[in-house]
Amino acid sequence: ICSMRLLLFLLALLSSVACTLHRFKTIVDAGQTDCFTVDIKQMSVGVTASYMVISPDSSHDIHFDLRGAQSSYQVKERKQRGIHTFEAAQGEMSLCLDNSYSFSADKLVAISIHINDDVIPLSQIADKTTQAAQSIQRALKLAQNELYDRANVEKRHRTVAENNFESINFWGIVNSCVMIFSSLVQVFLIRRLLK
Amino acid sequence: IKGKRMIRVIAVLSVLAVATNALYFHIAETERKCFIEEIPDETMVIGNYKVQLHDPNTNGYADYPSIGMHVEVKDPEEKVILSKLYLSEGRFTFTSHTPGEHTICLYSNSSSWFSGAQLRVHLDIQAGEHTQDYVQIAQKDKLNELQLRIRQLLDQVDQIQKEQNYQRYREERFRQTSESTNQRVLWWSIGQTLVLVATGAWQMRHLKGFFEAKKLV
């Protein structure tokens, strides 16, 4: 009896672990295309794929190409951020980030692929304590995902602020040079005019 | 005997946990692929990877034990904290000492024997409380299932708290950047006004001297 309970518990433990989450940030160089593929082993599983362009700027977008296995779902769009939830069939699901239309902008993209392959649904766990603990764990996981998304948005805003900080200097110097140069040109022209 | 069966069950379930839906991508041989992890300090990051080589005979990807994978990890100050050559399949670990963006770069060490060949890299990077091996902790500390479950929840809450502290630190940096930008705008405005006034004054003085020399005034 004890071993059965431990077995069920470990399965429940692993079900919280087996809810696969691929979350990473990668740099797509200008002119390049980066593709990521996930091999889905279950027959049909719910997948949530989201992406967000973090830098160089909040005005940059990227070409997003998502292809589910066996043509179950297809998305081709060019946006800054997007979330797609769908049922993926068994097979290879590929996600491509196409930056080939850009000449010089290297894009930092945050990607999150969440695959809902829970081994044991909540209602089938007999023990009330385990059920409670499992639901707390799921709520905490949701909270963590929210925190992560918010951190990405904050990073995007902070990148804009830091870019502003640098451009202030640049444009200040450019303005001052233009002013000095135009005053010199004015004096030079007047002198030439009256020579 | 019961203990041995338990260990075997645990081992089988651990294998099941690994056989989840893995992510892979393709890189050329000399190409470098970088991932960025923004993590708070004292956080452990574990990366599991496997490299396969394209086999033109079967048009698939097969294991090739002699390929090595070079893993380079840089901390937020661009200092290299891990730079090691691993086998074609393995795991790398590092712990962050400063909060911030750590860059994990992977590139293969194969030379131009297989020129133009594509490599398939299976990668899984876990940070924070996902890196704890609870099966091992259960055995070491002799915890029953409830205690292990609560330990897991406590670790998860700890991680969330660390993330939130780190978020506070980042927003503080954001606020400092904004305030410095404001200051800079103020100084540049004053400076450019002074430059305008100075060039105007110089122009008047110079032209006055010029006209007087030309006996026009």
CA–CA min distance A20, chain B (Å): 7
Choose the closest CB to B181 out of A9, A42, A168: A168
Domain membership of residue A134 (yes or no) is no
Residue A193 CB burial class (10 angstroms; 0-12, 13-18, ≥19): exposed
What is the residue-level pLDDT of chain A in tens, covering all 195 positions? Answer: 455 555 555 555 554 444 778 889 999 988 889 999 998 888 888 888 999 998 877 688 899 999 888 887 888 999 988 999 988 888 889 999 999 988 888 899 999 988 887 756 666 667 788 788 888 888 888 888 888 888 888 888 888 898 899 999 999 999 999 999 999 999 999 989 887
The β-bridge partners of B33 are B106
Domain membership of residue A98 (yes or no) is yes
Distance CA B65, CA B52 (A): 9
Instruction: Give rounded-to-5 percent helix, strand, coil for chain A.
Output: 45, 35, 20
The total domain count for chain A is: 1
Domain membership of residue A38 (yes or no) is yes
Domain membership of residue A1 (yes or no) is no
Q: How much is the pLDDT for B17?
A: 44
Chain B residues with CB inside 8 Å of A141's CB? 156
The contacts of residue B61 (CB under 8 Å, 6+ apart) are: B52, B53, B54, B55, B120
Distance CA A153, CA A179 (A): 38
Q: Count Cβ atoms below 10 Å from residue A114 Cβ, excluding itself.
A: 17
Choose the closest CB to B160 out of A13, A143, A175: A143
pTM (two decimals): 0.77
Domain membership of residue A55 (yes or no) is yes
Per residue in B185-211, pLDDT tens? 999 999 999 999 999 999 999 999 998
Residue B141 CB burial class (10 angstroms; 0-12, 13-18, ≥19): exposed
Inter-chain contacts counted by CB atoms under 8 A, chains A and B = 164
Cβ contact, residue pair B170, A9, below 8 Å = no
Domain membership of residue A106 (yes or no) is yes
- The rounded mean pLDDT for chain B is 83
Q: Which of B160, B54, B80 is nearest to A137 (CA)?
A: B160
Chain B residues with CB inside 8 Å of A136's CB? 153
Cβ contact, residue pair B170, A172, below 8 Å = no
Parent domain of A74: 17-119
* Residue whose pair of structure tokens reads 């993330």 in the numeric block: B163
Cβ contact, residue pair A154, B195, below 8 Å = no
Distance CA A182, CA B126 (A): 58
Domain membership of residue A133 (yes or no) is no
Chain A residues with CB inside 8 Å of B22's CB? 38-39
The contacts of residue A155 (CB under 8 Å, 6+ apart) are: A54, A55, B38, B170
Q: What is the ipTM of this complex?
A: 0.74
Q: How much is the pLDDT for B204?
A: 93
Cβ contact, residue pair B149, A9, below 8 Å = yes
CATH number reported for the structural domain that contains residue A70 in this entry = 2.60.120.680
Domain membership of residue A143 (yes or no) is no
Cβ contact, residue pair A151, B167, below 8 Å = yes
The model's confidence at residue B7, banded by pLDDT at 50, 70 and 90, is low
Q: How much is the pLDDT for A6?
A: 57
